[in-house]
Amino acid sequence: MSCGFTLSLQECLQVADSLGWSPLWQSFSPPPLQYSKHSAMADPGLYRPPPAVRGMTVLDREAFTQMIHVPALRVPTTVLNKVVKSLKKIALQRPGIKRVVDDGQPVGGSGQHRLLLLDPHCVASAESFGHEETAALTAFGVSPELHRYELQLTYENLKSEEVLRAVLPEGQDVTSGFSRVGHIAHMNLRDHQLPYKSLIGQVIMDKNPGVTCVVNKTNTIDSTYRNFQMEVLAGESNMVAKVRENGVLYEFDFSRVYWNPRLSTEHERVVSLLRCGDIVLDVFAGVGPFAIPAARRGCVVLANDLNPEAHRWLQHNARLNKVDAAITTFNLDGREFLRGPARERLPGLMRGPGAVHVVMNLPALALDFLDTFRGLLGPEPDQGLSCEATMPQVHCYGFSKEDDPQQDMVQRAEASLGVSLQGRCSVHMVRNVAPNKEMMCVNFRMPREVLYTISNSEEPSPKRQRCEETE
């Protein structure tokens, strides 16, 4: 429905005031010319939710329907496309709403004009148009006179954050963020949001095409298998996800293995350091986010994980990506893997032409596992077989809550190894996990004096530190 009459702004204000419409029309009064790229995001003033939706715990989509009024320009159809392009910064942008509508003229009219709906946060009057918009209107012969268009706004036209902000108690944090794992949206709701969890799940599913399951984490990550308990908030209970990361396809049961979509950049960074023919020992491989792309790059991979489910999906993903011939998998504790298969193969691998990389991505505990390398290969062989260039390159991850996380990572690695790494390591900041908690990666070439038993040397036994997993 539209109002086809045209009035000046002052006349509209007088009519609106006499009919008690002033609150609606006053929504057209932002500071003029504020239509930067951020203005289109500042939509709360356009939508004032009906009071009845506040505190809703069962989603009632019809309750969000209401009528609003927006400014519009009457544009000849002959120049419509050009005007729309020129005024795209100030045109109304709402999910499911057409910016161009009929001009409301009686049936049988000329049909030579359409209405272009404008964002009331950008346009309050003809004087609100910027220089470029004014020049375009003049060039195309379009009058800057504003029309008042009545628009029905429904649940489908709202963003998820707007719906949740309307429902949750005023003043409380609103979350519409989640991690996307295939068809699954994974949320970490706070205590005050739990009474609305079913509604939140339904809204997230409604507003994100392709999401057919919304889950909430109900406990911290289990340091043994790196999975966590979860509750289905909305949608199907199918937890087998299909994910494409950096061009590689993975499949896994998200409820029984560890997967973090926020680590895709880190996976890509480490894999980019590898060359065809290199050897990768992935101590905590999970479902293969390091191992699979390393094998695709032409590396020989020994991949291990303690979780039987992760090991099963690791083998599945190796076959899925046709690199199973390049990956040998193990289902062992990290120390058992290093003291068994890795120890048996390392001397021969270190004599080969490729560099050896050891990836240890278990941030809660990996630094503690570094002590396994102390004397791992026994007595030192002939000097020519153990030069520094043949030593494995280690990429070890950890969490830090210290003021200087880089120094903390180095000190804890040194404590486990029993040697100084000063001047022979680097530390990379992976991501911020939580306030005052960083995920870091310390990179170094394994010192010869650690890997081999050197006679007449005294090895200190420092107390190891633990970094608890609270992610």
Tell me the pairing of strands 327-330 and 300-304. parallel
Report whether 311 belongs to an annotated binding site.
no
Residue 135: count of CB within 10 angstroms of its CB: 12
Residue 267 assigned as binding residue: yes
CA distances from 161 to 119, 121, 126, 130, 175 (A): 19, 18, 31, 30, 7
Q: Is 333 annotated as a binding residue?
A: yes
Q: What is the chain's length?
A: 471
| Cα Rg of the chain (Å, integer) | 31
Which residues, at least 6 apart from 321, have a Cβ–Cβ distance to it below 8 Å? 248, 249, 292, 295, 296
Q: 428: annotated binding-site residue?
A: no
CA 203/CA 214 separation, integer angstroms: 10
| CA separation, residue 459 to residues 388, 394, 452 (Å) | 20, 21, 12
- Residue by residue, DSSP assigns 206-232 as HHSTT--EEEEE-SPPPTTT----EEE
Distance between CA atoms of 190 and 381, rounded to whole angstroms? 57
368 in a known ligand binding site: no
d(CA 33, CA 132): 11
- The closest of 246, 226, 186 to 311, measured between CA atoms, is 226
3-state secondary structure of 423: coil
Binding-site members are: 267, 305-306, 333-334, 361
Binding-site members for S-adenosyl-L-methionine are: 267, 305-306, 333-334, 361
